[in-house]
Amino acid sequence: DANGAEVTFSTDITETAAKAVFTAESDFVPHAHGLLAVYPKRTDRDATSYADGVVTGLHIGGTQQAVAGSFDPKFAVALGVALTEESNDLLFVNIHSLVKFTVGGETAPATVTLKNNGERKIAGTYNVEISEGQATVTEGADEITLNGPFEVGKTYYIALVYGECENGISLYFDDVEVKNTGETITLEPNKIYNL
């Protein structure tokens, strides 16, 4: 709102749709810089806020639940910005990266862990500076655990905070390293990286 505080909007649409109309649950005076939205609404954490060009209080969990062919929907963080300065139409873009992998072999692991080989945190509470798009983790971890069940032959995704991963990232099946990208990589928002 005008003070940068979170206001909840909702829709009654239940089917998959390319467009949706959302309505505020209370009176709403928009921020002077225009409409800005964050999805999903998290009820288990502190509210997000906006001030000085920075959205604060975003979150990607260090523990996620495996979903065959998809990702844990709680951590698919998207930011909606107005198409024009005076518009009520918002275009949403994911402000996380996804790492994709397929379970091979004969036995599926119980857990899968993704680790940043450097020091930067890839999960936790983070902020995004709007004009530059830079993400900064304020509190978090350098690894993410994806809990099963998993199935051999199925593909899974892990959501993580985008940014540079010094010395790359590693993937572990039940604490056994199955992939190490080795070189420093910069993960971009709204992109999928296939391991």
pLDDT tens digits, 39-60: 887 777 777 888 888 999 999 9
Residue 132: pLDDT over 90? no
* Per-residue confidence (pLDDT) for residue 173, from 0 to 100: 97
Q: Model confidence over 138-167: pLDDT tens digits?
A: 999 999 999 999 999 999 999 999 999 999
Residue closest to 155 by CA, chosen among 98, 96, 74, 115: 98
Give yes or no for a contact between 124 and 188, defined as CB atoms under 8 angstroms apart: no
Phi, psi of 59 (to 5 degrees): -150, 135
Residue 91 vs residues 18, 24, 117, 132: alpha-carbon distances, Å? 11, 17, 34, 17
Q: What is the pLDDT of residue 42?
A: 74
